[in-house]
Amino acid sequence: MGFMIRVVFVVISLTVAVVLKQYRGLTAPLPVPELNLKQYWGPGDVKQYKEDTSIKPFKVSYDAPVIEKLRTKLNDVPTLTAPLEGVAFEYGFNTNRLKEIIKYWRTTYLDSWSEREKLLNKFPHFHTQIQGLNMHFIHVKPKVPAGTKVLPLLLLHGWPGSVREFYDIIPMLTTKSKDKDFVFEVIVPSLPGYGWSQASAKKGLSPSEVAIVMKNLMSRVGFEKFYIQGGDWGSLIGNYIATYFQGNVLGVHLNMCSVNTALSYPKTFLASLRPSLFIDEQYTDYYFPLGSKFADIIEETGYMHIQATKPDTIGTALQGNPVGLAAYILEKFSTWTNPAYRNLPDGGLEKYFKLDSLLDNVMIYYLTDTITTSQRIYAEAFAADELKKDIDRIPTAVPAACAKFRYELMQQIDWILKDHFTNLVQSNHFSDGGHFAAMQLPEVLYKDFVTFIASLQK
């Protein structure tokens, strides 16, 4: 009997040892891989391509027939199915509210299109070729007295946002003020396939590959060392830049921090059993209970499964269809700002955002026909080749900061984040705010970012 117990003990011990060895193989830190900094994403054969390294001014400008064609489409709206009685945004975009927005868009907004166009052009726009793509970016140089410290900053948007998200925060960053003894020179690119940036003609332009494009863009405009701020895809891409190019990134500030590794999941479950051991109790409901958080994510990410598998199909349904496009995009600015807005007949859209600003963002997608190409990043992000890179297993020592807004789609505790962000120097919780922080609460995001940069400057 004693012999059998010893045998069983030995078998169990060997099994545990094998499992742990395999698990360590899944969780051990990885080195930065060798990168192809010149991967060609343009149409045709790279042998026929010669990169134009010039930087050319660009102006947002659309002729009257383009705008009148849109007005005609907004006049010829299909019959919209009435919402169920007593239902607000629980089934998606409330069509009663949508009719109001369409009327405003068709009349007041388009009647003042020349003013909207001027606003979109309030900052200098440029184009340059990077890796076969004609990349669009805003570049704002601060006008400050000689001797003022000027820091280069890359601002990165996500989906379904655009460079328009940053229009309120750019002046704060580029203007001298009492709360900082430095200003920023700001570069705000449209991601490839978004807005006025050319889309890839080839498979594989994933977030990690976009990170290389962004790094090359910063080199093109003259900055080998710079800071980063980003949300949504901009957060992931910013993370990857700070992981791949640790000698170039001076600091990375993100408002949707996440780490996706084999270790992050058991750590999340373990923390959920006794949250008070891992986080301040006043912030428990940012992360837990897991059941309700998971339910919220499931409710809000149906779009993601479609875009990660069939981006061109849903893109075809939306492209050239202003009514469908507005409903699809603006719904995110409702429930991603606060899930409770599902219960409001107007979706809470104008609690923080101006309707003109929201429509500016929709117009960028409509006028550039980029809804399909913008969605392809989901398919590339979930492709097997991208997932097997396991980039979050590469630790980054770049100083990092996380701004955690109350109603962000997904949050992770610092115990998990520090596995990847090994130099996490700032992590602040905010009692309000959602997914589009730069547009919703620009002053709050600005102050958190400046606090982070000031700490690094010291």
Task: Give yes or no: 232 in active site.
Answer: yes
Confirm whether 435 is a catalytic residue.
Answer: yes
The chain-wide mean pLDDT, for the chain, equals 94
Give me 103's structure tokens.
Answer: 């009327």
Question: Is it true that the peptide bond before 289 is cis, omega within 30 degrees of 0?
Answer: yes
| pLDDT at site 56 | 98
**Which tens digit of pLDDT belongs to each residue from 1-52?**
443 334 333 333 334 344 444 555 677 999 999 999 999 999 999 999 999 9
Which residue out of 40, 227, 232, 253 is catalytically annotated? Answer: 232
pLDDT in tens, 440-457: 999 999 999 999 999 999
State the Cα–Cα distance between residues 111 and 117, nearest whole angstrom. Answer: 12
**pLDDT tens, position by position, 270-321:** 999 999 999 999 999 999 999 999 999 999 999 999 999 999 999 999 999 9
Place of tokens 């660009």: 58
Q: Which of 40, 378, 407, 446 is catalytic?
A: 378
205's enclosing H/E stretch is none
Does the annotation mark 446 as catalytic?
A: no
Q: Contact at 8 Å (CB) between 435 and 336?
A: yes
Integer angstrom CA distances of residue 434 from 37, 145, 348, 431: 34, 36, 12, 10
The H-or-E segment that residue 156 falls in is strand 149-156
- Average pLDDT on 232-251 reads 98
* Between 17 and 103, the higher pLDDT residue: 103
* pLDDT band (50, 70, 90) for residue 220: very high
The pLDDT tens digits of the residues spanning 314-344 come to 999 999 999 999 999 999 999 999 999 999 9
Catalytic site residue from 194, 240, 435, 448: 435
